[in-house]
Amino acid sequence: MTIARTLADFASGPVAPDARMQRFVGLSLFDWASVGLAGTGEPVAQAAREMALGGGASHGATLLGGGQAQAAQAALVNGATSHALDYDDTHFGHIGHPSVAVIPAALAIAETRPGEAGDLHAALAVGLEVACRVGAWVGRSHYEAGFHQTGTSGAFGATAAAGRMLRLDPARMAQALCLTATRAAGLKSQFGTMGKPLNAGFAAEVGVTSALLAQAGATSAPDAIEGAQGFGPTHAGSADVSALDGLGDAWVFPNISYKFHACCHGLHAMLEALREIRDEGLNAAEIESVTVRTHPRWLAVCNQPEPTTGLQAKFSYRLTAAMMLSGVDTAALDSYTDATCARSDLRALRDRVRVETDDGLSDSAAEVSVVASGQTHSTRHDILTPIDPALIERRLRDKSATLLGGAEAEALWRSVARIDEAEGVARLMACLGARPGQTLAEDG
């Protein structure tokens, strides 16, 4: 059986996400919506919206921040917008950001074709799972070759979600996934530019377009994913068949990691460890030295030693460590500014932070040691360590309130919680279509 047909049988067939999977789908939908709304003012979001709005005609699918466009264009805009801040969820098995590709595709179909749309929660579940499974199938060799899994593997998840919303049968779902194989794209060379969030938008758009084409009867090579000239072999895929083990019975998406700090994910394990030490009542003025041990791969990503700009601050072990230990809110976007970099107290503490590498650590873990008043405080944190979902919910709601405001975050939370009710999608899209500065539309 081809890879496409295996994925299609799963994506189109009966699925029964367990309670844990259902909960994490809801948490990711809420987190995606929060960071998407917070990102509407970013230049890439504004450029994408301007492209989609064109002459200003309404076509039925809501854009984050206001306006409407055709389904595929709305998926592109909302995917790019929700990844504009790089504050969305990450899956280390997928090696990318699944929600920013999958959720916009499913919502675009749910809103524009309500009469034929399937169950949104089930569509999100299969789409997010397919993205993670394909990401693991192509593996780290694909990523190291220069491909951005958010755009590549994410496109397959977006297609599965959109196809399920369209109620595609397994044969047409397989055709949609094979069409995706010839369009899925995304390069790491775009990191640090508007191209990175647009990779997410392109993946969402490909999902909608491929699903609609398959629904209309378009066909493709059946082995377009794993064939000799298929997606995997031509994109440095590892073709790890074990990545598909248990598909439909075991769910890997709940191993998702959420960002609770508005900076590079490589810094988060360190920040969580330092947060534990800081919360013991440590006085920043008494700190003599800080030692951070991390996996060597992060040194080329987020080890700006003396950042001077807000953007550089988001990629600095030394400065963000000083921020955390000094009580600066690392979840707030406006904490990362040129002024923060210039603060004399933070610069002084920054210069007492030493970063060391340890290839015995996983790339999701960090060890920290803080010497203060002659006493040493040490701890280790791995961001893949399972956390009580209730604690994740509290922290995501706090994050949303930081980004949007308390009342707006609460309105959004209620809308996501009621997504399966009659008019649930319409209520959520009314929230997502609120322009910056407007109160989110949520009716009780």
Domain boundaries in the chain? Answer: 3-257+389-432, 265-382
> What confidence score (pLDDT) does residue 444 get?
42
Residue 262 near residue 333, CB atoms below 8 Å: yes
For 322, the token pair is: 């000083």
| Cα-based angle 413, 417, 419 (whole degrees, multiple of 5) | 115
Of all residues in the chain, what percent carry a pLDDT higher than 70?
96
Residues 159-205 pLDDT 10s:
999 999 999 999 999 999 999 999 999 999 998 899 999 999 999 99
Q: What is the pLDDT of residue 394?
A: 97
CA–CA dist 154, 328 (Å, integer): 34
Residue position matching structure tokens 């397994």: 170
pLDDT computed for residue 439 by the predictor: 59
Residues found in the chain? 444
Can you give the pLDDT at residue 54?
Answer: 76
Q: What is the mean pLDDT of each run of 10 residues along the chain (444 residues)?
A: 97 96 97 97 93 72 94 97 95 95 97 77 97 97 96 98 96 98 96 93 98 96 97 97 96 96 94 95 94 94 93 94 97 95 98 97 96 95 93 96 95 94 89 73 48
CA distances from 148 to 25, 181, 198, 204 (A): 23, 14, 11, 14
Q: What is the CATH number of domain 3-257+389-432?
A: 1.10.4100.10
Asked if residues 52 and 74 have their Cβ atoms less than 8 Å apart, the reply is: yes
Are the CB atoms for 302 and 266 separated by under 8 Å? Answer: yes
- The DSSP element (H or E) to which 367 belongs, if any, is strand 365-372
CATH classification number, 265-382, choose in 3.30.70.1350, 3.30.56.10, 3.40.50.2300, 3.30.1330.120: 3.30.1330.120
pTM above 0.85, yes or no: yes
Residue-level pLDDT at 115: 63
